[in-house]
């Protein structure tokens, strides 16, 4: 019978700056109440990654036509979706975003679905990803799980992700730490990346 004991939580592993990218997921005006409290930790994470020459990719969730709603239209009602060209769809201005940072548009929870992100990373030699942003239990978690399934080593930030409740945050972190991602925060990233 196979050993069913859980893997150790928070296994210690550090991202390799040469093969890592940072994803900052959906830090948009639509989610400003969730995003605002984590602006400092996301900016710290961005700056740690910049200092290690890790590329930064922002995602922007938006819909352009009813044909791209998919199941989100049924689940959330089209009136609650984020439409391209509106203020809600724009990235929050308080982030340390450079003009050279890529912005990937997506129309579902995963940053991999229909975005070309995986192909871009394979071409650039990216094998690891640090996930930050909102919402922890929807787009961040789905992207982390899909990244793992696609063969990327996933590092999931516990202090630079946010969602609508503490219960959702804790449940996602526990599930991802169990079988999908190495859990990190600003302190462990600074140590792991050798920041001074």
Whether the pLDDT of residue 77 is over 90: the answer is no
pLDDT at position 89: 93
- Residues 163 and 168: their CA atoms lie apart, in Å, by 7
Check residue 116 and give left, alpha or beta (phi > 0: left; psi -120 to 50: alpha). left
- Residues 60 and 71: their CA atoms lie apart, in Å, by 18
The DSSP symbol for 91 reads: B
pLDDT band, residue 194 (cuts 50/70/90) = confident
Interval 131-159 mean pLDDT = 98
pLDDT at position 110: 97
Residue 103 sits at the vertex; the CA angle it makes with 21 and 190, to the nearest 5 degrees, is 35
Interval 98-124 mean pLDDT = 96
C-beta separation of 184 from 192 below 8 A: yes
pLDDT band, residue 70 (cuts 50/70/90) = confident
The CATH superfamily label for domain 20-192 reads Isochorismatase-like (3.40.50.850)
C-beta separation of 111 from 140 below 8 A: no
The half-sphere exposure of 89 on its side-chain side, counting CA atoms within 13 A, is 15
The DSSP symbol for 14 reads: -
Rounded to a whole number of angstroms, the CA Rg of the chain reads 16
Question: Could you tell me the residue ranges of all domains in the chain?
Answer: 20-192
Mean pLDDT of the chain: 92
Whether the pLDDT of residue 150 is over 90: the answer is yes
Report DSSP letters for 162-181, one per residue: E-S-HHHHHHHHHHHHHHT-
- Residues 50 and 78: their CA atoms lie apart, in Å, by 37
- Residues 164 and 172: their CA atoms lie apart, in Å, by 12
Whether the pLDDT of residue 6 is over 60: the answer is no
pLDDT-above-90 percentage for the chain: 81
Whether the pLDDT of residue 11 is over 70: the answer is no
Whether the pLDDT of residue 196 is over 70: the answer is no
User: Which residues are CB-contacts of 173 (< 8 A; sequence separation ≥ 6)?
Assistant: 136, 156, 158, 183
- pTM higher than 0.85: yes
- Residues 35 and 91: their CA atoms lie apart, in Å, by 10
């Amino acid at each position: 019978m196979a050993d069913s004991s859980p893997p150790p939580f928070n296994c210690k592993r550090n991202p390799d700056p040469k093969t890592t990218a940072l994803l900052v997921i959906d830090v948009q005006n639509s989610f400003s109440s969730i995003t605002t409290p984590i602006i400092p930790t996301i900016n710290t994470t961005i700056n740690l990654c910049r200092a290690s020459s890790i590329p930064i990719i922002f995602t922007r969730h938006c819909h352009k036509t009813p044909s791209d709603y998919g199941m989100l239209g049924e689940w959330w009602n089209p009136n609650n979706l984020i439409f391209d060209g509106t203020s809600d769809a724009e990235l929050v201005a308080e982030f340390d975003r450079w003009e050279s940072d890529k912005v990937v548009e997506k129309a579902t929870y995963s940053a991999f679905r229909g975005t070309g992100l995986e192909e871009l990373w394979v071409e650039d030699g990216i094998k690891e990803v640090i996930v930050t942003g909102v919402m922890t239990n929807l787009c961040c978690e789905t992207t982390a799980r899909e990244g793992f399934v696609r063969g990327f080593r996933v590092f999931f930030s516990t202090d630079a992700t946010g969602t609508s409740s503490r219960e959702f945050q804790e449940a996602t972190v526990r599930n991802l730490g169990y079988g999908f991602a190495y859990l990190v925060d600003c302190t462990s990233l600074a140590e792991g990346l050798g920041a001074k």
